[in-house]
Amino acid sequence: MEERTTLKQTLKPHWVWAIALGSSIGWGAFVQPTTWMSTAGPLGVMIGLSIGALLMMLIAISYGILIKSFPVSGGEFAYSYISLGRVHAFICGWFLTLGYLCIVALNASAFALMVKFVFPTILKTFHLYTIAGWNVYLMEVIIASAILGIFGYFNMRGTGLSGRMQFIFCTIMVIGVVVITSMVGVHPGSGLSNVAPLFPTDTPAFAAIISIVAIAPWAYVGFDNVPQAAEEFHFSSRKAFTLIILAIFFAAVLYSMMIVATSMIAPWEQLVAQEKTWGTGAAIQGLLGTIGLVILVTALTMGIFTGLNGFIISSSRLLFAMSRAKIIPEIFSKLHPTYKTPYIGILFTVIVAAIAPWFGRQALTWVVDMSSIGVTIAYFYTCYTAFTLFTWSRTKKFNPDTQVVAPLKKAFAGLGMLASITFLCLLLIPGSPAALGVESIIALVIWIVLGVAFYLSNRTELSNIPKEELNYLITGNKQIRAKNQI
């Protein structure tokens, strides 16, 4: 049996918290408030995101259990293998890879959009073509590619560097949100009266809230970056659950603060009706002037940076774990000779993400929306694995090597499965608030077909790997024993 390549343990607890929080917030909290309020109103958005956070915490319980038990790179890929075997591990890894790559590309595109808002004349030069109604400019592509290259370089230099940067970026982002909200709150031109009505007048409150709950997997995606980096923890993996819960809680608070800040500036229905390219940015600039816009842009930039950094870490570690398990080419598990990082996976992530800006942001959002399916499937696999490891009580079928009596944990895992299925239904059932569009469905079918073709071409090689060897390559142990782990 060949030697198993492992990653260096350098990540500190506060860095991991920053990876989870920064990846969850990204650019959405700063760009989406007016869009969300048009759907659900200020209170509807805050209630919906709070309920979504609680549902994600239910799912996070299973993540905490499995990270503590199996602190290895790959996260959901490894968990699906533990409970359902190599085929399901491939399915989970295939969808997650696309999801992470798309989010990296979307954050790079968001950075270019922010530059376009601040310096519109600079980016609107060298028009190339129009795709799906979106004008593609050469400068926009160059800026997105440049920021990808910079963060790819930082990540190759070592996990310690990227983890430290993540915490610094995240801290600046949080301070920025607090300062902006405080400045709006004390400004004489703003007021709570602008928050009324709390819900859209043409939408029932319940429907408004559910429409926001439906986007929770997208709003909080990022906390699941923690298991991808679990192999690099320089602390007990038992702390992972607390770090994830704190990250989700802070994300919900930051989202709500930006909703409050935006809605207090002026009657929110007027802000929504203006249909500005960046409603929150225009509103902040109108009330607080250049200083307010600079603070907001700084916070947004840090949000984009944390999203870029966090998902480059996750995608490269997922590719590393799948390669180590011989499910994808071996080259992805090679480590940099000096920095000991999975540099091929990092390069691959950056290169693929750099292709996306050439197709325009509208086409990219179709694929990103579709990739939400993969992330939700990963949530289900994680909760299902935790569910199978626990039993309600000792029965005749009880296996002390692979099961643990823990009825409460099993119940939470079951609720996490139910939440995952609910999110999946909201994405797939036509007419639901988060239903995928036709373009996203087409992209989903194409990705499934590609996955089937890739798996069939490698099926013989994958099935010939002995189970003990695959156990070792994925989990670090020849035998998977729940009793000794949990």
The pLDDT value given to residue 426: 85
Per-chain mean pLDDT for the chain:
90
User: What domains can you pick out in the chain, each with its CATH number?
Assistant: 13-485 (1.20.1740.10)
Q: Rounded CA gap, 296 and 280, in Å? A: 9
Q: Rounded CA gap, 60 and 423, in Å? A: 15
The pLDDT value given to residue 402: 66
Q: Rounded CA gap, 230 and 450, in Å? A: 29
Q: Rounded CA gap, 16 and 369, in Å? A: 26
Beta-carbon contacts of residue 59 (< 8 Å; ≥ 6 apart): 379, 382, 383, 416, 419, 420
CA proximity to 188, closest of 265, 257, 262: 265
Structural contact between residues 369 and 432, judged by C-beta atoms closer than 8 angstroms: no
CA proximity to 17, closest of 255, 245, 315: 245
Q: Rounded CA gap, 28 and 24, in Å? A: 9
The pLDDT value given to residue 179: 97
Write out the two tokens for 150: 């910079």
Model pLDDT for residues 389-421, shown as the tens digit of each residue: 888 877 767 666 667 778 898 999 999 999 999
Structural contact between residues 447 and 238, judged by C-beta atoms closer than 8 angstroms: no
**279-324 vs 76-84: helix crossing angle, rounded to 10:** 50
* CA distances to 98, 246, 444, 457 from 450, in Å: 12, 37, 10, 11
Model pLDDT for residues 339-371, shown as the tens digit of each residue: 999 999 999 999 999 998 898 877 878 877 787
Give percent of the chain above pLDDT 90. 60
The whole-number average pLDDT for the span 410-434 is 88
Strand extents, DSSP E, 257-402: 390-391
Residue 433 has pLDDT above 80, yes or no: no
The whole-number average pLDDT for the span 204-216 is 88
The pLDDT value given to residue 437: 85
Region at 291 (left for phi over 0; alpha for psi -120 to 50; beta for the rest): alpha
230 has which bridge partners? none
Model pLDDT for residues 257-275, shown as the tens digit of each residue: 999 999 999 999 988 888 7
Radius of gyration over every alpha carbon of the chain, rounded to an integer in angstroms: 22
**Collapsing DSSP states into helix, strand and coil, what is residue 134?**
strand
**Collapsing DSSP states into helix, strand and coil, what is residue 27?**
coil
The pLDDT value given to residue 482: 59
- DSSP 8-state symbol, 356: G
233 has which bridge partners? 11
Model pLDDT for residues 32-44, shown as the tens digit of each residue: 899 899 989 999 9
Residue 483 has pLDDT above 60, yes or no: no
Residue 290 has pLDDT above 60, yes or no: yes
Angle at alpha carbon of residue 385, lines to 383 and 390, rounded to 5°: 95
* CA distances to 78, 89, 135, 322, 476 from 325, in Å: 10, 10, 42, 5, 11
Model pLDDT for residues 41-77, shown as the tens digit of each residue: 999 999 999 999 999 999 999 999 999 989 999 999 9
Q: Rounded CA gap, 268 and 195, in Å? A: 6
CA proximity to 113, closest of 357, 391, 331: 357
Write out the two tokens for 183: 């400045």
**Dihedral (CA of 28, 34, 40, 45) sign:** positive
The pLDDT value given to residue 399: 67
Beta strand pairing call for 127-131 and 390-391:
unpaired
To the nearest 5 percent, what fractions of the chain are helix, strand and coil?
A: 75, 5, 20
Looking only at Cα atoms, what is the longest distance across the chain?
73
* Concatenated DSSP letters of 184-239: HHH-TT--GGGG-SSS-TTS-HHHHHHHHHTTHHHHHTTTTHHHHTGGGBSS-GGG
The pLDDT value given to residue 484: 45
Model pLDDT for residues 439-471, shown as the tens digit of each residue: 888 888 998 999 999 999 888 888 889 999 999
Beta strand pairing call for 404-405 and 390-391:
parallel
The whole-number average pLDDT for the span 316-331 is 93
The whole-number average pLDDT for the span 147-161 is 94
Structural contact between residues 390 and 88, judged by C-beta atoms closer than 8 angstroms: no
The whole-number average pLDDT for the span 96-120 is 88
